[in-house]
Structures are given as structure tokens and as C-alpha cells.
Amino acid sequence: MISISQKNYVLYEKIKKPVSFGFINGTLVNALSSKALTGGLEYLKQNPVAEVAFLDATTMIAPRTAIDYNQNPVYGTETLFREIAPVVFNPFGPGIIAAIMMNKKGYNGVNAGKDIIISLHEAWKTAGGKNFHPENLSKKEKFKIVKQYVNKILKNTDGVVGNIENNAFVKLKEKDSEILSGRIARIILRNKDEKKDTKLVSKLIKKFTEKYTQKTGADSILTIKIKSGHDFSTDIHTLVEDVISVGKKIFTKTLPDKLESTVDDIVNFSKKKTLWATGLSIAGIIALPAINNTITKLRTGSTGYSAYQDFGKNDQLNNQEKKNKTGLWAAKGIGVAIIGSIMLTTMGAFNKKRGFFQKDGLKNFMDTIELKGKSAHMNLIKLIYGTSLISRVISSRDEQEVKNTTLRDSCGFLNWLVLGGFVSKGIAHLADKKGGSFVNITGSLVDKSKNPIKSAFKTASNWLSNVSQKTHSEMRAMNKTLPSSVGTKNMAIHTSAILGGLVWSMFALGIGMPILNNLMTNKAREKQLKENGRNMNIPNANIHKTSQPTFVSNSSIKNEKSFSDFIKQFQIS
């Protein structure tokens, strides 16, 4: 039965016209709120592979590679490898390894973490799962149990919409929960060929998640409380996938008397799966800097830092720099300490209650990095990515490379994994006059400590942790309750905030950071030349005019005169 509001919305969709806001006939606002743009951004957000391939490639990888290639072609090639290769191991590596392990174990397609498995099992038992025998029940009886299982989960799911301080928790209404539970139950009980059925099931899941968000307004922040001590948070899409995969492949396929031991086996295997997936991903990613350096050595015959514009022409000078091993390793130690402390702090290692150095520290660490989905979650990404950055510092070929690597990668780590799109979120929050229109707020923001420094730090930390930008689905659900002109403007502001964050990343880290690194490198090279009696008194640009190694040939490097020969000629002239 379609409600009056739904009928009106459908009618409006058919007759609506572009809204004009008086700025070039509303062209900008209408473009920013268009289905093509918002749909594209939403698709990228929901598909991590596409997001990395497109957004990272255009805002980070391409500009960094172009700028570094202009500095030195060999350095540009190293940059391309450095930026692209890690994606194989992070964030997708752990999920791929875990999927292979689960498949061999006989649990193909089950990605849920231990708290999710335990909570879903509790819901199954409450729904009468102990009476579910795959062969001895009628279709109607099976449907009843599975529907109750799903309904139990939905009833215990709280979504967050807007500001939590304004009673932002939302639940499905009883009637809606019954209807949506039935839809999921039918998907679980489908007996079609899995490979052929995958696309259809994906469409059904998408329709379900859209319907859930329309009914509640929530999408990205859900808290599920079914069994004490095993509460978990997730988004609606992941929740539905887990409910279906566990229900379809475990609960309805396992005999009641064997289900308890099966669940225990999955929970215990989750730890092993996490350790292997994480360990192999780290092992692969920390080898990349050494591989990159080796490729450069094989191509050019040089072991120096390739960022210098005269790379390959002053190898003896590079070797002289390397002789100062004490200074180099001291610099590496500082770089490792900086990146390592950032990584551990942001993972909660020093938390007074659940830190890695407190009682039950190992358990806390395992809980923090536990693999809970198809790809690595934020804390696991921090561990793998942070470890890879440390390996870059250790593999640095001289002190200048250590400085560049530490600055570039610590800023990149903070921007990507800690500040978490703070520019996008900041724009959305500044535009949010009502406190919940463009962002979701899951906790208090302003700290009222008497110490102003402590208060400022805590307030900033609260903002980073407790404020998140709404998703496109949440915006659409909210806008349906508003006049069309207001909804269109809201979506334009929402899109502007996202684009603002991408522009920031591109200019600050994709363009600004490599330019700064190269300026530092050129200055350092000038200083090295002066200190070694070779003050050429020419601007940095002239250094770039020396012959450069190419992708095809390195003969120009190998045929250069030695350092001593050049000194003799310089003295004669």
C-alpha cells in the first residue's frame, strides 16, 4: 500500500522542473545537486576499489607523479610505484586473504566479525532457530523462523540521524520492521545457483537499504545491541550483507545440534584469520620500498636518492653522504618515532582503559585490528599503512630522503586516516545551522575543562571523533520532508563539501607536498655542493638542465665523468 506522501513524491518526480536560485539561472546549484554528480560520488563511496582507482588517481597519484617526474624522470617513476603498489595490500589485501581462508574452511562468503556472529546467533536462538531443521520443516515454518531472526535484529538496531544530544536515535516502526524482515527472509531462503543469483541479490540488498534509510533517515551509523558485551556498530549495507550471509550459509545450512560448535569455530577462526591476513599484508607492503629502490638501481646503476635533479651525475657525492651512517640512522630513528607514535596514538594504544600497554593489552590489540568485513577497516588500515610508512623511512638512502619521507607521509597519514576528510566535514558543519542537517553528531563536542589548552585539545578531538558528514542516502531521506527548493539547495551544499575536501587533498597533498619536498631537496643539494667545494653559483633551475636518465636508456648516466675528473677540469678553468 503506497502512502499519500509517497504518491505525492512520485507525482512530483514526474513534473518537477529545475529550480532557479538566481545564480546564472540556478545552473551551479542544479549542477551540484544533479543525479549524475551525486550518483557518481555515491557510487565511488560505496565501491572502495572504484574510489581508490578514480579519486586517489586524480587527486593524489597523478599530480604527485607528474611533479616528481618533472623533478627527475627516475624519481617520477619511483613515485608512481610508491603510490600505486600499496593498494594491493591495503585496504584490499586483508579481505582477499581472509576470503581465501574462509573459503578453504568451508565458510565461503562469511565476512562478519566475532561480535557480529555472536549477536546474530543470539537473535537466531531467540527466533526459534533450534527448531530449524533444513529437511524436516515446511517452507512456511522456515520462513517464520528466518523472518523472526531478521526482525529481532532490526528491532534492536538504533540508527543515528542528526545530533545525538537532540535524541537522534531512530528505530524502524513495528509495521516497517515486519515488512522489511520478510523481504530479507525471502533472500536468505532463496535456493538459486549462487553465482547466477549474485547480481539479483545485490540489487535486492540495495533496494532494502534504500527503503530502510527512507523509513528511518539513518544509513552510516547503526548500533546493534542484542547480546550483552557484544554490541557492535556498522552501516546498514554491511549489516544486511552479514545478516544474509550468516543466515543463508551458516544458520539455515547447519543442523541445530551442530550449530553451537560451528559458531564457536567461526569465532575462534576469526582471530587466526585476522593474524594471517594482517601479517601477510604487512609483509608484502613493507617490502615495497626496497623493491622500488632495487628497480631504480637496476635501471640506472645508481644507489643514490633519485629526487636530486642531478641524479646519476654525482654518485661519489652521494656515497660520501652515505658514509655518515651515524647521522643517517639517527635521522631514521627520529622518523620512525614520529610516524610510529602517530600510528599507535590514533589506534588507541595509549588509552588508559583499553590501551595496548594496559592489562589485557594483547586482547585489546586483537579486538582493535579484528577483520570484520570484505576489506580492512580504519584501525587495521592505520596499522598496515603506518607500518609501510615506517619501512619507507628505514629504506631511505640518505638524510634528505628521510626528511622528505617523514614530512610527506606523516602529513598524509594524518589527513587520510585521522582528520578523516576534515575539510569536507568542516564545510558541512559550518553550513549546518540546525545541528543535524548536513552532519551526524554522535557525542558531545565542547569540553568544559578549566584548563584552556586541555579544553581546546579535547574539543578538537571530540569534533574529529563525533562528527561525520551525512551520506547521500541520508540527505535524500531528509530532503523528502522539505520543500523541493530547500532540498535541492541542501544537496548542492552537501556535494560542495565533498568536492571541497577533494580539492584540499589535491592541492595540499597531491600538489603542494611534492613541490615542498622538491624545494627542500634542491636546497639540500645546493648545500651539499657548496660544502664539497663545488659552489656553482647557478639557480636551481640550471641543475635541471643536466642530462636526465630515461625509461629506456641509462647510458648517459654510465658515461658521465668521475667526480675527480670534474674537479680537475673545474680547477683548470
Per residue in 521-568, pLDDT tens? 999 999 888 877 654 343 444 444 444 444 334 433 443 444 445 444
Q: What is the DSSP letter of 392?
A: H
3-state secondary structure of 449: coil
pLDDT at 50: 73
Distance between CA 395 and CA 285 in Å, rounded? 13
Span 184-189, average pLDDT: 92
Rounded CA-CA distance 491/470 in Å is 11
**pLDDT at res. 47:** 73
Tell me what pLDDT residue 397 has.
92
pLDDT of residue 88: 82
Phi-psi region of 435 (alpha: psi -120 to 50; beta: other; left: phi over 0): left
Q: DSSP letter at 131? A: G
pLDDT of residue 547: 44
Write the single-letter amino acid at 230.
Answer: H
H/E segment holding residue 224: strand 222-224
| pLDDT band at residue 314 under the 50/70/90 scheme | low
Give the residue extent of every domain in the chain. 1-44+423-533, 111-270
Q: Which residue has the higher pLDDT, 338 or 27?
A: 338
Cα–Cα dist 236/238, whole Å: 6
Q: What's the pLDDT tens digit per position in 379-398? A: 999 999 999 999 999 999 99
State the pLDDT at residue 543.
46
More confidently predicted of 361 and 197? 361
For residues 170-177, average pLDDT: 91
Percent over 90 (pLDDT), the chain: 43
- Which helix (H) or strand (E) segment holds residue 233: the answer is strand 232-234
Q: How confident is the model at residue 196 (pLDDT cuts 50, 70, 90)?
A: low
- What's the confidence (pLDDT) of residue 194? 65
pLDDT at 364 over 90: no
Q: Are 146 and 120 in contact (CB under 8 A)?
A: no
Q: Which residues of 179-196 are buried (b: 16+ CB within 10 A; e: fewer)?
A: ebbebbbebbbeeeeeee
Rounded average pLDDT over 230-235? 89
pLDDT given at position 90:
81
Percent of the chain with pLDDT over 70: 83
Residue 418 pLDDT more than 70?
yes
Of the two residues 165 and 76, the one the predictor is more confident about is: 76
Instruction: Kindly indicate the confidence band of residue 441, based on its pLDDT and cuts at 50, 70 and 90.
Output: confident
